[in-house]
Amino acid sequence: MSTRVLEAARELTGFDAAAVGTGSGVLVVGTDGVGVRTLVDAVRELAPDLETHARALEVGNQPGVALVVVDPSSSVGDEELHLVERVRGTVGTVALVCTKIDAFWEWPRIVRAHRKTLDPFGTMPLFGVSAAASLGGAVEESGVDALVGWIREALEAPAAVRIERARLAAGAGAVEHLLDDTDAGTDTDTSGALDELMSTRRRLVSSRDRGRVDRLAAVRAGLTRARAQSSAELQSRVRGLAALVADAAPGTGAEHQSWLRSRWADLADGIRRDADERIDEVAATSLVGLDPEPSPQEPWPETPLPADGPGNRRRRGGAEDALLVIIGASTGLGVGRLVVAPMASVQTLQWISMPLTLLLGIGVAVWVIRVRRGALDRADRTGRSTERLTVARSALDHQLGLRFAAAETRIAGQIARAHERRARRTSEQVAQIDDEIRRLRSGTANQDVRVRRDRAEAVHRELLARSEQLWADDKDENDPSTNDQAGSGEDGTR
């Protein structure tokens, strides 16, 4: 029976209690200051035949009983707990001994607290003793005599019984350690896992659609600002080019047209490039933290200068030209008369004054007419160029509006798709968390732990029942009133 239950304990805990042996010595252990030496002296004085050792045995000696000493003056912790587990795993038959009870009136309450920590299942014997009182002669009041009686009872049993008791006690200690860990860990772990899952779920739900409205507002405001900047820059550059046409443009028709088209192309390329850079800046700011999405931009359409207007055709004569000829002729005759007037006083030069006046008048008239026509041509060419630049600027500004509108649609679409992907991932994560929460609340996660605990409790009960039976049989054998039944053929190791 013991073999079966010990094997079951080994399967549960991994501890092989069958390896525990026994001997005839008494091992007394404890932390510093609890009175281990004093208790050893008291036991030796009362039972000098017992091999009592403090904290360590000689090489080759195996203790049959171990005493773990505590006192009411200090608390117990991991060190004492580790000491109890070590001696229970190596000796098996262990008792807790509280010393110095003569110095502390409240020692029963303190010892109960110590036992709750060191022996929560209450399976080890507990003794309260005063080693100092025993050494002083008050043996009956010291409690050491009861301790010595239990030691003798444990050591005087047959070797097979002592071995079985030690192994059962060691196995029970291992199972109790497993039960204690299960009690401490199951509820706490489940509660902590539920709290963590609920916190994660709240965080995911609250951040599922966070920032979408702010991102869209930032895109709209950023593109509106960039659109205004691009339009203002286009208008300023066109005004500068128009002023340059009036001051530094070539005069001939073909050369003038080529120069104007080249300058306009450079201006339009710069405006487009700056607009794309502004769009990229707004997109980079608005899409930060989102999944990248390739979005190639469409090429800009061409925005050429419109064709030259009526200025390319031959000028038609009219009142303006006639007035220009009259003004030129009158100016020329006046200048000629001013130049020739001094010659009229000279008798010999009077005959050439009239022809010279006409020639000078004609020359000045021709020059005035050419200068005037050149000025009119330049003014006409500048006006036509300005009109062409105005038309081209309007067309490019319209393209800028379309470009920024398309950029807003594209960036808003990226934001929407990114948040939809995030919402799907968040929904999947929330669904998984909900499943895990339901699983934890339903107890499915702890089912294996509960099954193992139930099995451990059953094995623990069997170990304690067998151990109590062995101690009870030994008492019956030592009781004179039951000696008549000793010859019934049953031994104490059944």
Q: Is the pTM of this model over 0.85?
A: no
Render pLDDT for 138-179 as a digit per residue (tens, 0 to 9): 877 778 888 888 888 888 888 888 888 878 787 777 777 777
Most confident of 105-119, 181-195, 246-260: 105-119
pLDDT at 388 over 60: yes
One-letter amino acid of 279 = I
Q: Greater confidence, 482 or 373?
A: 373
CATH number (3.40.50.2300, 3.40.50.300, 3.40.50.720, 3.10.270.10) of 2-184 reads 3.40.50.300
Per-residue model confidence (pLDDT) at position 61:
63
Residue 228 has what pLDDT? 92
Mention every residue, 6+ apart, whose C-beta is less than 8 A from residue 254.
none
| pLDDT higher than threshold 70 for residue 358 | no
Q: Note the pLDDT tens digit of each residue in 202-255.
A: 887 777 767 778 888 888 999 999 999 999 998 888 888 877 776 665 666 677
Distance CA 75, CA 81 (A): 11
Q: Where are the domains of the chain?
A: 2-184, 212-307+317-441
CA 259, 263, 269: angle at the middle one, nearest 5?
A: 145
Average pLDDT over residues 47-65: 72
Amino acid at the residue 120: P
The span from the CA of 171 to the CA of 481, in Å, is 33
Mean pLDDT rounded to a whole number for the chain = 76
Give the SS3 label for residue 386.
Answer: helix
Read off the pLDDT of residues 58-106 as tens digits, 9 standing for 90 and up: 545 678 888 888 888 877 788 888 888 888 888 888 888 888 887 777 7
Q: What is the pLDDT of residues 301-353, one digit of tens each?
A: 887 777 765 544 445 555 666 666 676 667 766 766 676 666 666 555 556 66
Tell me the C-alpha distance between 459 and 12, whole Å: 9
Structure tokens at 248: 């530094």
Which pLDDT score is estimated for 478?
56
Is 8 or 143 the better-scoring residue by pLDDT?
143
Kindly state the average pLDDT of the residues 51-62.
Answer: 66
Least confident of 45-54, 67-76, 470-479: 470-479
CA distance 198 to 190: 12
Query: Quick one: tokens of 493?
Result: 């190791």
Distance CA 428, CA 489 (A): 72
CA 357/CA 338 separation, integer angstroms: 9
Average pLDDT for residues 103-126, to the nearest whole number? 82
